[in-house]
A = this chain, B = another copy of it.
Amino acid sequence: MAATIKDIAKLAGVSPGTVSRVLANKVGFFSEHTGEKVRAAAAELGYQKNTAAAELVTQQSNVVAAIVNSTKTNFASPIIEGIQAEAHRHDLNVIILYAGDDDSEQQRRALTTVIERPVRSILLLSVDLAAENLTLLQNSRIPFCFLSISFDEIQVPYITSDDWQVGYQATQTLLKLGHQNIGLAGVDSDFHTGRQRVAGYRQAMQEAGITVQPEWIQLGNYSYTAGQAAMRAYGANSGLTAIIGASDMAAVGVLNTARSLGYRVPTDLSILAIDGTEICELVQPALSSISQNFYEMGVAGVQQLCAPGELPQKITPIKLVERDSLQRNG
């Protein structure tokens, strides 16, 4: 049995209340002498506080939970790093839970694990909650915020990039290089994020006076496999001179498949990735990207939940990072 506050009290010859006060360092509430006795006793017993018990009485907690989609893309790490760093500044601890891959049962398990204990707030990293799970979350009355995902139908707090701009700027980048026949590969139009990217793409193309051929937009779930499938659909004689990968992983799928189809990248085909995680620098040629600021999303998420009353929907900046996968057309 681990030592409790009572054991310390007995050993130090004081009351449990006093032990609690010195261990919580309530200055002015105990004498120097008592403080020393208690601390010595605690050390001797190897005392470890039972924080769960303390949280029960104070009705508050300093842990924030991050629920992540065990996604086929890979931007969770920088978001989590941002969360950790900012949480540290606020003296908060963070625990991470996996919610599976759009598996509503796994989502529910992660959610209840977290709701059934005192957590201060919940961050959801690009997890698209099933309706009943969203209800569960909202009923819990625990403050929450979605990260790296956006919504239109439902009114919930989220922080992410401006996905319309992501699509628009990606397309503009390629247009400025003289490309006209531009593909968009692996994007998921079932959700708001993907629809926005497609809309930005279409707008840029329209402004350039280019008619988008239906087959130029290849839907998918942002995965490597989706990128491969898209490129296979485009084929060896696609007529495309540039392709936007809907995510880094999709872009790598496009890259590898394009190669096997005989394309030289970027000589025959330019590829622009969306996300800008480290994977862009691992492949050759290194992929240029419209990079999101994932770290900042994590930071902003924690800040938002620490400063209630802020506006519930926030945009983090994006930027073009040029590497080696783009080339002027003509």
A interface residues with partner B (beta carbon < 8 Å):
2, 46, 48-53, 55-56, 63, 70, 77, 80-81, 84, 88, 93-98, 100, 109, 112-113, 115-118, 139-141, 224, 252, 256, 259, 278-279, 282-284
Contacts and interface: CB of A to CB of B under 8 A. Distances in A.
A80 B115 CA distance: 22
How many copies of the chain does the oligomer comprise?
A: 2
Contacts of A109: 88, 93
Given A117-B51, A279-B282, A284-B259, A141 B93 contact: no
B113 A63 contact: yes
B52 A252 contact: no
A139 B46 contact: yes
B49 A116 contact: yes
A119 to B, nearest CB: 10
8 contacts: A2-B140, A50-B56, A52-B116, A63-B113, A88-B109, A95-B113, A256-B284, A282-B282
Given A117-B50, A282-B224, A95 B93 contact: no
A52 B46 CA distance: 23
A232 to B, nearest CB: 16
A221 to B, nearest CB: 16
Contact of A2 (B88, B141, B256, B284): B141
Nearest to A140: B48
Contacts of A141: 2
Contacts of A279: 282
B93 A96 contact: no
Contacts of A2: 140-141
Given A51-B117, A52-B118, A284-B283, A98 B98 contact: no
Contact of A284 (B46, B53, B115, B284): B284
A25 to B, nearest CB: 16
A113 B98 contact: no
B116 A48 contact: yes
Contact of A282 (B49, B95, B283): B283
Nearest to A255: B284
A197 B185 CA distance: 42
Contacts of A50: 56, 116-118
Contacts of A115: 48
A52 B96 contact: no
Contact of A283 (B48, B88, B118, B283): B283
A117 B81 contact: no
- Of residues A93, A95, A279, which shows the largest number of chain B Cβ atoms within 10 Å of its Cβ? A95
A77 B70 contact: yes
Contacts of A70: 77, 80-81
Given A56-B56, A259-B284, 10 more contacts: A2-B141, A46-B139, A48-B112, A48-B139, A52-B56, A84-B100, A96-B98, A256-B284, A282-B282, A282-B283
Contacts of A282: 224, 252, 256, 279, 282-283
A128 to B, nearest CB: 19
A45 to B, nearest CB: 10
